[in-house]
Each structure stands twice: as structure tokens, then as C-alpha cells.
Amino acid sequence: MDRNEVLARLRGVLEESSTEPIDWSQLAETSTVASLGFDSLSILDVLYGIEQEFGVELDAGDVIDLETVGELVALVGERAA
Amino acid sequence: MSGRPDSEASGLKRVRHAVEYALLRVAVLGVDLLPLSVASWCARRLADVVFTLDGSRRAVAVDNIRRAAVETDPAKARRLARRSARHFATVVVETLKARSLLAGERWREHVAFDIPPAVREVLEDPDRGLLLTTGHFGNWEVGAQAISRFKPVVAAARRVTNPHVDSLLQRRKPSRDFRLVAEWFGSPTRYTEALSQGETLALLIDLDARGEGIKLDFFGRPAATHVTAAMLHLVTKAPLVFASCRRLDTGHFEITVSDLIEHRPTGDKQADVRAILEHLNGELEAVIRRFPDQYLWAHSRWKYGEWVPPPGFVPVSGRLGGAGSRGITS
């Protein structure tokens, strides 16, 4: 699975988990996680969505310190391989 | 002058905090000096006075009891509300005395456990976390402290607004294996850390979720319900149970733990969350129906009455989005 495919599939997961109305067509690997409108509960929604979309179980600790969407793409791609 | 009202309000608040703290210190001193039975008797009489004088809280309790159809007759509902107030007063005294009640091997004289073998296995495995849910039933504080005999318990609580009272409560923390952690309230990431470290995470499932969570029936009435317990189970796969700590008589309890509740994610998150929370609510309702005077009816579980979702409300995790869109920062 290449990074573009991971990013495209992640977009849906992140959009469903975000608390803010955001223009998701602008999402890129350079986008910061902080700009995506996640509240403290959203992390669980993201982890649920990633498991359903990619079959990958991540810990909250794996993703909480990620700064960019690209880092999340890399993590999910690595675990899904 | 614009600053005067603020400073007056601040001064009044300081006085109020000081008075509250002084009253609490006297009460705690009394509880410490008196035997449990005497302190509990005094607390119940005080509860009678408060029940008589505090009309608004009494009305909430009676209304909750009647609307839940646990007792529809007004006079019977009022008597049940009074017993519930006495029960809560006893909870406070028992909680303040819990450190001595449960010290060393004394806990065996005060607590009986009814725990299924599969749950006991989890409790005795230091590497496995446990999601333990309960409600404002029986003595939930003593229950959590007793469970910490098996494995450390972490419970989140809102910090008390009075800093002096908060400091006193922190100083009276019962044991190193039972931690009330104010800072963690509403912080699922910290919850997952506790579970991954093999600790028990204790959550109250009947807190009013206000604008968050989902609308779920509790005693047939819609209530704003936190989804954290369900989401934690779905994401972490941590074993999930419901537990109750029923008072047998003052200072003596029976802790009953459900079988492991297992629900695997199906891809329909809302349905998964709803199924888990309905199961947990059902467990809580069942034990309350058996022993209704041990439930805290005066707390505002159905704060919104008929519960009208706020604009933009999307069930699960409280999505309160506004109009328009926001840019993404790169």
C-alpha cells in the first residue's frame, strides 16, 4: 500500500473523528495534527477508525505525540504492511 | 470603579471557602473521633435535617424516583428519597473511615466479594488492565478501594473548586493502590496508559455528559451518557466489567462483579457504543431496582428533562460543529 493510498483512506477516518468542520480536500502529509480539530475523546475515534479501515491496532500512546499527518501515514503504512 | 465587583466577589468566595473548609474540618474531626456506628448515626440525623431544609435537592430526588417509576406514589417516593439521603450521608462517613476499615487484613471483616473466575484471573494478573464501571450506587468509593487489594485502581474525579477542601481531600487519600486523579478527567489517552500498565480503571457511568456523549435511556428516560468506557473497551480490548458495592449494614459491604463483557468492533461505531452502554446501564438499573434506597437519587442524572440535543449534535463523542469550514495548517 503506497503512502498516497494510506493518506486517502486516512482522510475518511480523520474526517469522521474530527470535531471541527474542515476543508478535508486540503489534507496533506504536511498538515499538522493540531489543525485537524481533535478533542481529547477524538483519539479513541481515530484509533477505532484506523482499526476498521486498515485492520491495524494502535495504542493511543503511538499517535498522541505525532505532529504531522505524514507521520501518521508512515505509522499506519508500516503496521499495515 | 470596574474592579470593585470582582474584588468583592473574590473576597466573598474566599470567605465561603474558608467557612466550608472549617465546617469540613470539624466534621472530619468528629468522624475520626467517633466510632463508625455513632458517626453514621449522627450523619443520618444531619441528612434528615438537610433533607427537610433543602427543598430543591429533595424535589430532584423525588422527581427522579417517580419518573424512573421506581416508586410512583408521591409519599412513598419521598420516603425513599429520605432513605437515599441517609444512605449518602453514611457513604460519606464510611469513605472518610475507609482507610482504617480496610487497613491491613481488616478489610476481610468488612468486605465480601462475589467475583466470577474469569474476572478474578484478570485481577490477579499484574499485566492485564481492567475497565471497571459502576454508578452512584452503594458505596462506590469503598468498592474501588477494596478492589485495589487485587490490583491498583485509578479513578478520575473532577477537582473540588474549593482549594482548601481539595487539599484536605488529597491529604486523606486512602492508599497508594487507589488513586483519585483529578487531572485525568476526560483524558482517554491517560486512561489507556493506566490500562496498558495493568491497572484497574474505575469509571462512573451515570455522570451527566451534558453536550457530549450519546442520548441513552436510563430507567426509560433519555440521559446524556458518556461514551468513554465503551470506546476504551472497543479500542484497547481491555476486559470490561460492571461492579456494585452494596452495603449490608454500616461498614459492611458485598462487592458483586459481572462476568466479562466482551464486544468486538463491528465497524458500526455508534451501534457498538450503544450496545455496550445499554448493557452497562441495564446492569446498573437492575441493582438499583433491587436496592433503590442505596442509589443517589438526588444527583441530576436527567438534567435536561426531555433532553433536546444541542444544535449540530452528532451522537458519539460529542460533535458540536458549527457552520462553515476551517483551514488545515501545514
Question: Is there a contact between B232 and A21 if contact means CB atoms under 8 Å apart?
Answer: no
Query: What is the predicted pLDDT for the residue at B169?
Result: 76
DSSP state of B183: G
Judged by DSSP in three states, B68 sits in: coil
Q: Which three cell numbers stand for residue B51?
A: 433533607
Mean pLDDT of B136-150: 93
Question: pLDDT category, A51, cuts 50, 70, 90?
Answer: very high
Alpha-carbon distance of B243 to B134, in angstroms, equals 5
Closest chain B residue by Cα to residue A40:
B187
For the stretch B19-69, pLDDT in tens is: 989 988 888 898 899 999 999 999 999 999 999 998 888 999 999 999 888
Mean pLDDT of B78-84: 97
Query: What is the predicted pLDDT for the residue at B285?
Result: 96
The ranges assigned to domains in chain A are 3-80
For the stretch A12-46, pLDDT in tens is: 999 988 877 888 888 999 999 888 878 767 889 99
For the stretch B303-320, pLDDT in tens is: 755 545 445 544 444 333
Query: What is the predicted pLDDT for the residue at B174?
Result: 63
Q: Which of residues 48-67 of A touch B (CB under 8 A)?
A: 48-49, 51-52, 57, 59-61, 64
Q: What is the ipTM of this complex?
A: 0.88
Query: What is the predicted pLDDT for the residue at B312?
Result: 53
Please say if the pLDDT value at position B330 is more than 60.
no
Residue with cell 468492533: B265
What secondary structure does DSSP assign to A16-67, as a single string?
A: HH-SS-B-GGG--TTSBGGGG---TTHHHHHHHHHHHHH-----HHHHTT--
Closest chain A residue by Cα to residue B231:
A44
Percent of chain B with pLDDT over 70: 87
Please say if the pLDDT value at position B4 is more than 60.
no
What secondary structure does DSSP assign to B70-96, as a single string?
A: S--SHHHHHHHHHHHHHHHHHHHHHHH
Please say if the pLDDT value at position B185 is more than 70.
no
Query: What is the predicted pLDDT for the residue at A73?
Result: 95
**B302, B217 Cβ separation under 8 angstroms:** no
Please say if the pLDDT value at position B188 is more than 80.
no
Question: Mean pLDDT for chain B?
Answer: 86
Question: Is there a contact between A61 and B193 if contact means CB atoms under 8 Å apart?
Answer: yes
Question: Is there a contact between A47 and B323 if contact means CB atoms under 8 Å apart?
Answer: no
Smallest CA–CA separation between B49 and chain A, in Å?
41
Count of alpha carbons within 13 Å of B86, Cβ hemisphere only?
A: 17
Mean pLDDT of B60-81: 92
- The residue count of chain A comes to 81
Please say if the pLDDT value at position B323 is more than 60.
no
Fold of A3-80: 1.10.1200
Name the least confident of A61-65, B196-200, B241-245, B255-259. Answer: A61-65
pLDDT, greater one: B186 or B286: B286
